[in-house]
Structure 1
Amino acid sequence: MQLREKPGLPSALIGLAVRLPWWLGLALAVISYAGLHHLAQKPMPAALQPGQMGSFLLSAATHGLALAGQYLLPVFFAVGALVSAFRRGKAVRLYSAATTRADALGRMSWQEFEILVGEYFRRQGFGVLDNGGGGADGGVDVVLHKTSGKGKGSYLVQCKHWRALRVGVQPVRELYGVMAAHGAAGGFVVTSGDFTEEAVRFADGLALTLINGKTLMRDIQAHKASGPAGLSAPDCPLCGAAMVLRQARSGATAGKQFWGCSRYAQDRCRGTREVD
């Protein structure tokens, strides 16, 4: 598995703005115009003096780039900001739909599934960087950043929107190799379906978390349940993070609700509290 190919300069600038908050992209558009416009207004040397050929050529090149760039860069950043705003709104809508429809994952395209996964991790406290979409299997789909607390560092996420087939061990192995090559603190493979037993065994004990469709929907529903039900979410007794409402699936307490740590997916924090 390889990361996507490097884009050209226009695509790279637009992509940068897409990955930033929309207001920051607009700020870059204004700043780039102001700075380049200032350079474009500077007068060219009146005459070429002996021994100044190098500085003259540099000044001429800077002036020419500023003349064009004062209009092009703001446009690139503004387009990226608009796309960022659109994607952010779409992420919120997709997440909201997932809280109300049991079949939400099956109704999404693979692009929408990647957006939903990014929003899922954003609401768990990660900084989220969409790696850009280039195909139904583009390698690393989302890059996460954690700047403080336990597990600080970058995390790589691969999304598998497979409705019928279970995700086997090969994609999991490949992501683990990319994690090692890039020095990532951890990684996640998220699927709308399920994983094979071989994939689960390979990931066991590694800094690699597998999240199937049922777990993803359960966590999204748990985040929803922690608010409208009128319950005040307590802090985790182990790490201090916010807790979410979960439901025991097996054992003597099967079916009973309890508070679980919202950091379980990324930190494996097993802090719990009873529901009063």
Structure 2
Amino acid sequence: MGRRKDDGIEMVSKLPWQAGIVLGLAGYAAMRYGLAWCMTMFGGPVGQALGTTLADGAYAPAAWLLLTACWLAALISYLDSRRRHYLLTSQSGLRSLSAMDWREFEMLVGEAFRRQGYQVREIGLGGADGGIDLILHKDGATTLVQCKQWRTKLVDVRVVREMYGLLMHHRADAVKIVAIGHYTDDAQRFVHGKPIELIAGDALLAMVRECQIVTQRRKAA
């Protein structure tokens, strides 16, 4: 099933919340004042007349709407960042990881990678996707991530083969599969010599705890 494209608010909400504030102010100034100035300076007689109309506030409602939309997106971004922070810092073991729903699990994994210096693009949060959930960028390399919050079922070689096919199709550099449980022997044999990392529950928990320690040190500093 194809994904619907993000609208403007969704796109801005995926940026840091500070960016939404700045974009709102810049967009308001550009629409409210900048457009009229450009038309007056470079639009000739017709542009000057139109610029005068714009300077009188013809685009003021649209400018306020743009500002409101950007600041709403900034609020969503801020609340999401607080939720991700809570998800990361509140984990105490594999049981708490298993208690989350799949959306929270993907958010947690994305935040853990983000704390490791990756730029994270969340793909799977729009639906229960069976393919790519996260796309990571770091040092010029692109890594595809799939999250499997299976509590009892082992991740088999079929899943790994599918991700390897996506790696080849998208010409990515590596693949990471993150699961709470473990992987079958066939899956572990398949990744030998390939740019595929299988992250099981214990390794994921260690990654989360490392992020928690860094956060605590920053608070104490």
Q: TM-score, normalised by structure 1?
A: 0.64
Q: TM-score, normalised by structure 2?
A: 0.78
How many residues end up aligned between the 2 structures? Answer: 207
Match of 2:22 among 20, 27, 32: 27
**Which structure 2 residues correspond to residues 59-208 of structure 1 after superposition, within 5 A?**
69-98=62-91, 100-131=92-123, 133-137=125-129, 139-147=131-139, 152-208=140-196
CA-atom RMSD in angstroms: 3.3
Once the two structures are TM-superposed, the CA of residue 15 in structure 1 deviates from its matched residue by 2.5
- Which amino acid in the other structure matches residue 122 of structure 1? R
Once the two structures are TM-superposed, the CA of residue 30 in structure 1 deviates from its matched residue by 1.4
Once the two structures are TM-superposed, the CA of residue 204 in structure 1 deviates from its matched residue by 2.0
Once the two structures are TM-superposed, the CA of residue 165 in structure 1 deviates from its matched residue by 1.5
Match of 1:17 among 12, 23, 31: 12
Once the two structures are TM-superposed, the CA of residue 222 in structure 1 deviates from its matched residue by 4.2
Once the two structures are TM-superposed, the CA of residue 223 in structure 1 deviates from its matched residue by 4.6
Once the two structures are TM-superposed, the CA of residue 23 in structure 1 deviates from its matched residue by 0.4
SS of the residue 2:197 aligns to: strand
Which structure is richer in relative contact order (CA contacts within 8 A, separation 6 or more)?
Answer: 2
Higher helix share: 2
Residues 153, 184 of structure 1: 8 Å contact kept: yes
Residue 212 of structure 1 is matched in structure 2 by 200
CA offsets, 1:216-269, max 9 Å, x none?
A: 01232345467879xxxxxxxxxxxxxxxxxxxxxxxxxxxxxxxxxxxxxxxx
Residues 169, 202 of structure 1: 8 Å contact kept: yes
SS of the residue 2:137 aligns to: strand
Percent identical pairs in the alignment equals 34
- Which amino acid in the other structure matches residue 134 of structure 2? V
Once the two structures are TM-superposed, the CA of residue 208 in structure 1 deviates from its matched residue by 1.4
Residues 175, 195 of structure 2: 8 Å contact kept: yes
- Which amino acid in the other structure matches residue 116 of structure 2? Q
Distance 2:113 2:71 in 1: 26
Distance 2:161 2:200 in 1: 17
SS of the residue 2:126 aligns to: coil
5+ residue gaps, structure 1, are 46-54, 230-276
Residues 18, 81 of structure 1: 8 Å contact kept: yes
Distance 2:65 2:216 in 1: 47
Distance 1:227 1:70 in 2: 39
Residues 29, 75 of structure 1: 8 Å contact kept: yes
5+ residue gaps, structure 2, are 41-45
Distance 2:94 2:157 in 1: 27
Distance 2:69 2:7 in 1: 9
Residues 128, 145 of structure 1: 8 Å contact kept: yes
Distance 2:169 2:61 in 1: 39
Distance 2:200 2:134 in 1: 16
Sort the Cα spacing of 1:167 and 1:75 in 2 relative to 1 into closer, same or farther, 3 A. Answer: farther
Residues 15, 132 of structure 1: 8 Å contact kept: no
SS of the residue 2:198 aligns to: strand
Once the two structures are TM-superposed, the CA of residue 166 in structure 1 deviates from its matched residue by 1.6
Sort the Cα spacing of 1:43 and 1:112 in 2 relative to 1 into closer, same or farther, 3 A. Answer: closer
Residues 159, 190 of structure 1: 8 Å contact kept: yes
SS of the residue 1:166 aligns to: coil
